[in-house]
A and B are shown apart, each in its own frame.
Chain A
Amino acid sequence: MIATPLAAPLLTVVGAGGVGKTTLAAALGVVSAEEGADTLVMTFDPSRRLKDALRVEDAAGDRVVQVPLEAPGRLDVSLLDARATFDRLVAQYAPDRAAAERIYRNRFYDQLAGHLAGVLEYMAVERLFEVAAAGQYARVVLDTPPTRQALDFLEAPDRIVGFLDSGALRLALRPWFTTDGRLKRGKVRRRVADLLDSIVGLNLLRDMAEFFQAFAPLYDGFRARAREVQRLLRDPKTRFLVVSAPGEARIPDTLFFARRLRQGGHHVAALAVNQVHPPVGRDTGARPAAPADGVGVLAWLAERDARGLAALRRLVTDGTPVADLPLLPTPPTGLPALGALGRELLHRLDAAPPPPRGRTGRRRRG
């Protein structure tokens, strides 16, 4: 990856679910280590096949495992366990053990993560910050979590800071409840509390108030951390690879995502369209004769994907390289296959048309 757009100390692979992010992150990790860089791949929930390919099948959550790869550089993999990281951060920032315990026991804590999309995943990225700060690796490849909309993940820091800053927290910190568990007086508080009580009952309200109070001592630590992770992800040394599924229908989403990344101050190095159906050496020009005609179906898919790719290349006008990767007959099942996939991606990025003169590919917002 030397001298390619992806040659960065921190490489983040992003895209919608099911597009092959995790496999590509692993493939780039293999190439990076083969080129001599000590590399860490941080990933979420890889498939069994990929774990087998990396030979890290026994790796438990949150631990760093060395991949048995014969290469000049070392290749480590860390499987992120979001909940474990969140729990650890609570323990780290809580003033004492009892305060941490109060949070763990709170029913609301369990729910918080699921209802603030991306927060748990973001918490796992806290690990990234620790790794980057330790400076043990020449390169870190970060595979982002499979959120419905990949943006959830990047917006999570803003969301958690917003949530912590919100009136909900401030109101909760001025306790609604007296020490004997009855609602305090006060007009506005009373109005909202009465309403919420009439809808959901006081039990839940009490749980929430308790949670926010327990969380208060952690507030500054979390906030500062969220800011630092944001800064790291926006650093010019951090590059993003946007992975897209093939087909015309996916193009608007991919473009939208790349644009939003840039607007957020992130550096998009390249777009990869994955699992493109290769051209069939037969000019069909029409729909297959019958659904059972596999060659006809593949020809149709190849034409669909070619149209999508052409549209994407036409619409990316800022010089960002676009690489297409063909659909493989079977998913990669070993380190050599992963390495080959990674080299193929870099080769295709190299072969992508160079950016037009006078453009940097890092368009200013607006």
Chain B
Amino acid sequence: MTSPLAGRELLVVTGKGGVGKSTLAAAVARALAAGGRRTLVLEVDPRETQHVLLDTEPSDGAILAAGHDVWLQNLRPRDEIEALVRRRIPIALVARAVAASPVFHHFVESAPGLKELAILGHALRLARGEIGPGVDTVVLDAPATGHGVSLLAAPLLVAEVLGDGPVAQLAREIAAFVAAPDRCGVVVATLAEEMPVQETLELAEMLVTRIGRPPDLVAVNALYPVWPRRRPPGPRDALELWRQRRAVNDEELTRLRGHWRGAVAELPLIAAAAGPALVATLAGELAPALAIGGAA
């Protein structure tokens, strides 16, 4: 066993679009805060949605309070990189000119791992209390593009490509942070359907290959209620749909557990639209899984 997920400094919530990743990230934050951890949700999607889930205003780059012991920030990786430029070039005018030049723009867009490094570096500084309200945990609602693997593998890649220099050093430091099982945790959000389970298994394998560690928890979202032993009353078509959709869920859960030996949290399909109420319910469902450690 490793340390409980609830005690880590950074929890990265990843998964494909459409599986409820952002809702689960918000729920993780609420569950941690309920357990006494000061928690900040870091969102990197320029199309902000976390504020709806956490019942606050759009962050627009700022750190906002979002209820008891929860904060929200929507981070623009480009702003982070420009801040890095400003720290290197003390003359504001020159720094602005450089940051505005198309060469710089394309460099930032295409340089391998730079944006990802900026995101993780920012999370690390937040968790250390160097910036922000002094939080215990940062929950990163990771980008949905790719598998989230490229985000976590970026520090290693940058360190390897650059070899030396200040950024390479920073990259190595962040890589060590991401690799430390007692400091950083990875939660994969998925559905008990064929493609999401397949992608989750591939993601788990790639994490081991690329950064040398498996995820800590697979959170299976939106499971239809368990089909009861005695056929319940109700309209025939609805009962049949329920029974068969749950059978698909069961088949895929079995397949997942057959290949993935780590911790699994099974979360029910809740009759509520994406919003604070759904987040609160899921936070209660997730709490037990966060209190225990992932099987190493």
Residue of B nearest to A196 (CB): B107
A354 to chain B, nearest CB (A): 30
When the two chains form the complex, which single residue of B101, B109, B112, B166 contacts A192, counting CB atoms closer than 8 Å?
A: B101
In the assembled complex, A287 has its CB within 8 A of some CB on chain B: yes
Mask for A260-301, Cβ within 8 A of B = 1, else 0? 000000000000000001101110000110011111111111
In the assembled complex, B102 has its CB within 8 A of some CB on chain A: yes
Is A115 in contact with B248, judged by CB distance below 8 angstroms? no
Q: Which of A239-271 contact B (CB under 8 A)?
A: 245, 248-249
When the two chains form the complex, which single residue of B89, B162, B248, B271 contacts A301, counting CB atoms closer than 8 Å?
A: B271
| Count, chain B residues at interface, CB 8 A | 66
Q: Which of B97-126 contact A (CB under 8 A)?
A: 98, 101-104, 106-107, 109-114
Mask for B29-52, Cβ within 8 A of A = 1, else 0? 000000000000000000000000
Is A167 in contact with B145, judged by CB distance below 8 angstroms? no
When the two chains form the complex, which single residue of A167, A277, A278, A292 contacts B102, counting CB atoms closer than 8 Å?
A: A167
Q: B89 — which chain A residues lie within 8 A by C-beta? A: 195
In the assembled complex, B146 has its CB within 8 A of some CB on chain A: yes
Is A294 in contact with B232, judged by CB distance below 8 angstroms? yes
Is A287 in contact with B103, judged by CB distance below 8 angstroms? no
Mask for B236-247, Cβ within 8 A of A = 1, else 0? 011111101111
Given the complex of chains A and B, what is the CA–CA distance between A175 and B217 in angstroms? 48
Residue of B nearest to A296 (CB): B271
- Highest count of chain A CB atoms <10 Å: which of B241, B247, B270, B274: B241
In the assembled complex, B56 has its CB within 8 A of some CB on chain A: no
Is B109 in contact with A298, judged by CB distance below 8 angstroms? no
Is A291 in contact with B161, judged by CB distance below 8 angstroms? no
Q: A67 — which chain B residues lie within 8 A by C-beta? A: none
When the two chains form the complex, which single residue of A19, A171, A295, A331 contacts B239, counting CB atoms closer than 8 Å?
A: A295
Mask for A305-338, Cβ within 8 A of B = 1, else 0? 0000000000000000000000101110000000
B200 to chain A, nearest CB (A): 13
Residue of A nearest to B235 (CB): A281
Known: A192-B98, A281-B237. A330 touches B244 (CB 8 A): yes
| Count, chain A residues at interface, CB 8 A | 63
Q: Which of A77-105 contact B (CB under 8 A)?
A: none
- Highest count of chain A CB atoms <10 Å: which of B18, B102, B271: B271
Q: Contacting chain B: which of A197-205, A219-227, A355-363?
A: A197-205
Is B111 in contact with A200, judged by CB distance below 8 angstroms? yes
Is A199 in contact with B88, judged by CB distance below 8 angstroms? yes
Q: Contacting chain A: which of B5-13, B64-72, B127-135, B221-229?
A: B221-229
Given the complex of chains A and B, what is the CA–CA distance between A292 and B226 in angstroms? 7
In the assembled complex, B61 has its CB within 8 A of some CB on chain A: no
Residue of A nearest to B47 (CB): A149
B29 to chain A, nearest CB (A): 20
Known: A47-B195, A115-B109, A294-B227. A200 touches B242 (CB 8 A): no
Mask for A184-210, Cβ within 8 A of B = 1, else 0? 000000011001111111011001100
When the two chains form the complex, which single residue of B98, B237, B240, B268 contacts A195, counting CB atoms closer than 8 Å?
A: B98
In the assembled complex, A179 has its CB within 8 A of some CB on chain B: no
Q: Contacting chain B: which of A31-39, A56-64, A106-114, A229-237?
A: A106-114
Known: A115-B112, A293-B225. A199 touches B167 (CB 8 A): yes
In the assembled complex, B288 has its CB within 8 A of some CB on chain A: no
Mask for B140-174, Cβ within 8 A of A = 1, else 0? 00011110001000000010011111111000000
Given the complex of chains A and B, what is the CA–CA distance between A166 and B106 in angstroms? 8
When the two chains form the complex, which single residue of A198, A277, A329 contacts B240, counting CB atoms closer than 8 Å?
A: A329
Known: A16-B17, A199-B167, A203-B161. A299 touches B238 (CB 8 A): yes
In the assembled complex, B209 has its CB within 8 A of some CB on chain A: no
Q: B208 — which chain A residues lie within 8 A by C-beta? A: none
Is B194 in contact with A329, judged by CB distance below 8 angstroms? no
Is A16 in contact with B164, judged by CB distance below 8 angstroms? no
Is B234 in contact with A282, judged by CB distance below 8 angstroms? yes
Given the complex of chains A and B, what is the CA–CA distance between A19 and B19 in angstroms? 11
A65 to chain B, nearest CB (A): 20
Given the complex of chains A and B, what is the CA–CA distance between A281 and B164 in angstroms? 67
Q: A111 — which chain B residues lie within 8 A by C-beta? A: 110-113
Interface pairs (11), CB distance under 8 Å: A17-B18, A18-B16, A18-B18, A111-B111, A147-B145, A167-B106, A192-B101, A195-B89, A200-B165, A295-B239, A297-B224
Please name 4 further chain A to chain B contacts, defined as beta carbons within 8 Å, in addition to the given A168-B102, A197-B165, A201-B165, sorted by A numbering: A148-B145, A203-B162, A294-B224, A301-B269
By a beta-carbon cutoff of 8 Å, the part of chain B in contact with chain A is 16-19, 84-85, 88-89, 94, 98, 101-104, 106-107, 109-114, 143-146, 150, 158, 161-168, 194-196, 198, 224-228, 232, 234-235, 237-242, 244-248, 268-274
By a beta-carbon cutoff of 8 Å, the part of chain A in contact with chain B is 16-19, 47-49, 107-108, 110-112, 114-117, 146-148, 163, 166-168, 171, 191-192, 195-201, 203-204, 207-208, 245, 248-249, 277-278, 280-282, 287-288, 291-301, 304, 327, 329-331
Complex A-B, nearest 5 residue pairs according to Cβ-Cβ distance, in ascending order:
A329-B244, A111-B112, A18-B18, A281-B235, A294-B242
